[in-house]
């Protein structure tokens, strides 16, 4: 009997096709040993598995470096328009495997490590969650000259521990062992100023007496998919300047001065958790300005160093530069670019403002009012006094325009002002982004419609041409080929491998929706993934689950609008039904919920405690047995997502209609063969269109139903009194059934659900329960279930980040994606080859050829 294929075998099959030649395994082994000896200073007698991982990572990185340099040379020679993607956070994930997939190295590396007596999967598991971004992957794969900019946080989002059912946060010291993928670039360090005062003189405006923090860049390569292009993600680390006064030696202040450096460097110390509640903290504002100020200096430096640019032609900056503001966190790019143009480069205000608008574009990510950034004017006055002046002037000119368009409409003028009056004057950063950008987009069609019709309705009426939709997407390289190689190979056997670059080709799978052999193959891969994840849970969490049960999964940030509480009510209802009719043939379910609660978000933490408490009762009830299990997935993160998503049968996307901007987890589950139970919210709407609404389990209120209920008045108590099973579940929570040692533990949650629930959990309860009954019934028919899965996979083409980025490029940035493959460093050279990079460096110096 043939040995079953491992994930490594399947990725190997995919990796080896389409290569010009087979990588030299002997060379890889030589380079591995070279790095082990000369980079890590170890031999095989004392090296640890982590040392082997670093040796392998450095060996793979060697294959990136030549392509990385060649890409920058290519951009210097062609001088294309460049796009700069500014974000205060990039998701954390592993880099090694993704790099091997994109460079088609996995086959050779797997063979080399095997010959060295090492296990590739063990080495991959050692890697920390580093930095990834679907959009940057697609930008590189589409040949766009793109740069991601952010902060190199010393501590990422916290590690979550569950202790006695409660979330406990631990520091995520992701850099403690170093990062083999990053390269410090001290030659491009930039000063960032804070505080001080503003002087208006005959020579112009000066921002003086400031405190200076240095921004040190670290570059991470971002390889495209097998096109030899390697773009750059540049992250800034805060460093204190070294200008200590020598007299401090004599007065005893030197030691304290050294210690005070930490205060400056705190700027890049920790990532603020995203909890959808805006809190105006000075450190957060410092972070936002820090990344913007350093990045804009870098952009202008690179523009001036390019063939196109010079110190005299900043008027044409927008021709060669596009800046995408990912949410309002980098909104300060607008006043900062104005400051650089007007104060430093002496560009007249009107021309500078035209350049800013043509250069900047803004992506909105939330419609929740409490999540929109509003900074106190007093804080700005102290920290960024010149920027406050600039914002006031932008607002003055903006309101003059609105007054001319709508004379006498003081309400509209007040609504559209960048400055919100009240007990505390605040700057509305979303309004600043809209006024200072040439394009504003939502991230799903329903979300874009909401911001046009409600949240930013006034602005849409003034400038409708600014507003667009760019539905989010995911990279199929990471979220299929890498994390689910079995499914990727089964698909490739039917339609070839071109779908990895052109996900629309998945539509060809519709030809095989009734193919018994294909149905069996898809179902077999899903079962293998489930068994693999069950083994992972048992090994790492000491939890045993039934791989034959339905894996019902909800993994996302814990938040009221995501409605994990609705899931809890279904679990309790299902538990009660099994208890009432234990002999009925119930569809076995393992319900898994994962996600982190922001440390200061009390309600979210109570939701986690409720989930774990329900699990304690359900999982230990002998009457229920294996028919229902409830698992809270501790420390949910990208690496865990890469394991659970391929194993999931059912994806829970159950936010209140009109609250989720888009979601990308829904797309990842869909691509990996999970069926969706969800509301018509975010990207679910477009998923239902692409796969057919009959192939998703859609329930609940639509946006217009929610709006009508808001007007009528949502009365949770009426649902509670009318629906017996709902009442029983709520009473069990309130009465201490799931917290017998603390009967009143969840009284605040129940009070919120009954009297203060903005997200209307009870209103969707009945339809959700009915929909879950349909799910259970279909799961008993594996063939029909799998046919629906195939319909979903075939409908995933739209949700590739390649499509999303192509739309951004053509419709916002004014750039054209290219599938052109540039020459690799090892490729045959033209008859008259150019000087090699190292020769040019030696002859002319680094910046004479190109600039990173």
Decide the pairing of beta strands 440-442 and 360-363. Answer: parallel
CA neighbor of 623 nearest in space, from 577, 569, 591: 577
Q: What is the DSSP letter of 370?
A: G
Residue 475 annotated in active site: no
Beta-bridge partners for 553:
592, 651
Question: What are the tokens at 828?
Answer: 């045959």
CA neighbor of 550 nearest in space, from 772, 773, 776, 768: 776
Tokens 């998923």 identify what position?
687
Contacts of 208 (CB under 8 A, 6+ apart): 196, 197, 198, 199
Q: Which of 12, 67, 74, 562 is catalytic?
A: 562
Q: Which of 596, 668, 787, 803 is catalytic?
A: 668
CB 815 within 8 A of CB 81: yes
What is the radius of gyration, based on Cα positions, of the chain? 28
Residue 557 annotated in active site: yes
Residue 668 annotated in active site: yes
Q: Which of 452, 557, 563, 791 is catalytic?
A: 557
Q: Which of 59, 71, 99, 664 is catalytic?
A: 664
Give one DSSP letter per residue of 235-281, joined into a string.
Answer: EEEEE------TTHHHHT-HHHHHHHHHHHHGGGTBPPP--S-----
CA atoms within 13 A on the CB side of 799: 32
Residue 201 annotated in active site: no
The C-alpha atoms of residue 654 and residue 787 are separated, in whole angstroms, by 23
Q: What is the DSSP letter of 561?
A: G
Give one DSSP letter per residue of 35-61, joined into a string.
Answer: IIIIIS---TTT--HHHHHHHHHHHHH
Q: Which of 35, 74, 339, 556 is catalytic?
A: 556
CB 283 within 8 A of CB 266: yes
Question: What are the tokens at 284?
Answer: 């957060």
CA neighbor of 594 nearest in space, from 667, 648, 659: 648
For the four alpha carbons of 823, 829, 835 and 839, in that order, the dihedral sign comes to positive
Burial zone of 46 (CB within 10 Å; 0-12 exposed, 13-18 middle, 19+ buried): exposed
Residue 365 annotated in active site: yes
Cα angle 63, 181, 540; round to 5: 110
CA neighbor of 800 nearest in space, from 471, 484, 524, 498: 471
Cα angle 34, 35, 40; round to 5: 125
Q: What is the DSSP letter of 482?
A: I
Q: Which of 365, 387, 438, 596 is catalytic?
A: 365
Residue 206 annotated in active site: no
Burial zone of 421 (CB within 10 Å; 0-12 exposed, 13-18 middle, 19+ buried): exposed
Q: Where on the phi/psi map is residue 471: left (φ > 0), alpha (ψ -120 to 50), or beta?
A: beta
Question: What are the tokens at 90?
Answer: 């990039």
Q: What is the DSSP letter of 830?
A: P
3-state secondary structure 416-471: HCCEECCCCCEEEHHHHHHHCCCCEEECCHHHHHHHHHHHCHHHHHHCHHHEEECC
The C-alpha atoms of residue 360 and residue 323 are separated, in whole angstroms, by 5
The C-alpha atoms of residue 193 and residue 264 are separated, in whole angstroms, by 11
Question: What are the tokens at 740?
Answer: 């017998």
Catalytic residues: 365, 556-557, 562, 664, 668
């Amino acid at each position: 009997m043939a040995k079953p294929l491992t994930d490594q075998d399947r990725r190997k099959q995919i990796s080896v096709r389409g290569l010009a030649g087979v990588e030299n395994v002997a060379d890889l082994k030589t380079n591995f040993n070279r790095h082990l000896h000369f980079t890590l200073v170890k031999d095989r007698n004392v090296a640890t598995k982590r040392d082997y991982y670093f040796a392998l990572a450095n060996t793979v990185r060697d294959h990136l470096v030549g392509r990385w340099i060649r890409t920058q040379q290519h951009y210097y020679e062609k001088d294309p328009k460049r796009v700069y993607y500014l974000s205060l956070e990039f998701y954390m994930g592993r880099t090694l495997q993704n790099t091997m997939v994109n460079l088609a190295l996995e086959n050779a590396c797997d063979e080399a490590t095997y010959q060295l007596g090492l296990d590739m999967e063990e080495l991959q598991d050692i890697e920390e969650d580093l930095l990834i971004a679907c959009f940057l992957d697609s930008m590189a794969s589409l040949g766009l000259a793109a740069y991601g900019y952010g902060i190199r946080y010393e501590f990422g989002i916290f590690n979550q521990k569950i202790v006695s059912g409660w979330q406990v946060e631990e520091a995520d010291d992701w850099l403690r062992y170093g990062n083999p993928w990053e390269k410090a670039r001290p030659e491009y360090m930039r000063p960032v100023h804070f505080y001080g005062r503003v002087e208006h003189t005959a020579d112009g405006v000066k921002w003086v007496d400031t405190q200076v923090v240095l921004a040190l860049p670290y570059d991470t390569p971002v390889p495209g998919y097998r096109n030899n292009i390697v773009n750059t993600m540049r992250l800034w680390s805060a460093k204190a300047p070294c200008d200590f006064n020598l007299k401090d030696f004599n007065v005893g202040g030197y030691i304290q001065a050294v210690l005070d450096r930490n205060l400056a460097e705190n700027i890049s110390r920790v990532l603020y958790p995203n909890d959808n509640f805006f809190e105006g903290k000075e450190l957060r504002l410092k972070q936002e300005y820090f990344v913007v100020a350093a990045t804009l200096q870098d952009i202008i430096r690179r523009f001036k160093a390019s063939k196109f640019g010079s110190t005299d032609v900043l008027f044409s900056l927008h021709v060669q530069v596009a800046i995408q503001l990912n949410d309002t966190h980098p909104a300060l790019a607008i006043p900062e670019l104005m400051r650089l143009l007007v104060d430093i480069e002496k560009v007249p205000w009107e021309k500078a403002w035209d350049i800013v608008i043509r250069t900047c574009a803004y992506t909105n990510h939330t419609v929740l009012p409490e999540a929109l950034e509003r900074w106190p004017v007093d804080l700005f006055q102290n920290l960024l006094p010149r920027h406050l002046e600039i914002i006031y002037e932008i607002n003055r000119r903006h309101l003059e325009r609105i007054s001319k368009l709508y004379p006498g409409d003081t309400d509209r003028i007040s609504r559209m002002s960048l400055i919100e009056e009240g007990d505390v004057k605040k700057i509305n950063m979303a309004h600043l982004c809209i006024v200072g950008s040439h394009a504003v987009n939502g991230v799903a069609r329903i979300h874009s419609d909401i911001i046009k019709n409600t949240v930013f309705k006034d602005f849409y009426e003034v400038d409708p041409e600014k507003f667009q939709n760019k539905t989010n997407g995911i990279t199929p390289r990471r979220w299929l080929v890498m994390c689910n190689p079995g499914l990727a190979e089964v698909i490739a056997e039917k339609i070839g491998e071109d779908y990895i670059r052109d996900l629309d080709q998945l539509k060809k799978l519709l030809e095989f929706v009734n193919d018994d052999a294909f149905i069996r193959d898809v179902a077999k891969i899903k079962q293998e993934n489930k068994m693999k994840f069950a083994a992972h849970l048992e090994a790492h969490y000491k939890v045993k689950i039934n791989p034959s049960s339905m894996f019902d999964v909800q993994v996302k940030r814990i938040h009221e609008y995501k409605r994990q509480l609705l899931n809890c009510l279904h679990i309790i209802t299902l538990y009660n039904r099994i208890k009432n009719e234990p002999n009925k043939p119930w569809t076995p379910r393992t319900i898994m919920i994962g996600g982190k609660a922001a440390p200061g978000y009390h309600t979210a933490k109570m939701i986690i405690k409720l989930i774990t408490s329900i699990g304690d009762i359900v999982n230990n009830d002998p009457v229920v047995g294996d028919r229902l299990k409830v698992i809270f997935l501790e420390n949910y993160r990208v690496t865990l997502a890469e394991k659970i998503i391929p194993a999931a049968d059912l994806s829970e996307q159950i936010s209140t209609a009109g609250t989720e901007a888009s979601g990308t987890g829904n797309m990842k589950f869909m691509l990996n063969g999970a069926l969706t139970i969800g509301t018509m919210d975010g990207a679910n709407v477009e998923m239902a269109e692409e796969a057919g609404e009959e192939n998703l389990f859609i329930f609940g209120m639509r946006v217009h139903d929610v709006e009508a209920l808001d007007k009528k008045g949502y009365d949770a108590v009426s649902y509670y009194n009318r629906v017996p099973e709902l009442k029983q579940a709520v009473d069990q929570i309130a009465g201490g059934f799931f917290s017998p040692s603390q009967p009143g533990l969840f009284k605040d949650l129940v009070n919120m659900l009954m009297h203060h629930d903005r997200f209307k959990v009870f209103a969707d309860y009945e339809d959700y329960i009915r929909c879950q009954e349909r799910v259970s019934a279909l799961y008993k028919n594996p063939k029909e279930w799998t046919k629906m899965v195939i319909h979903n996979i075939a409908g995933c083409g739209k949700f590739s980040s390649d499509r999303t980025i192509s739309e951004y490029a053509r419709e916002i940035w004014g750039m054209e994606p290219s599938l052109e493959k540039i020459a690799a460093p090892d490729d045959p050279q033209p008859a008259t080859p150019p000087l090699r990079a190292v020769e040019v460096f030696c002859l002319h110096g680094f910046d004479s050829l190109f600039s990173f």
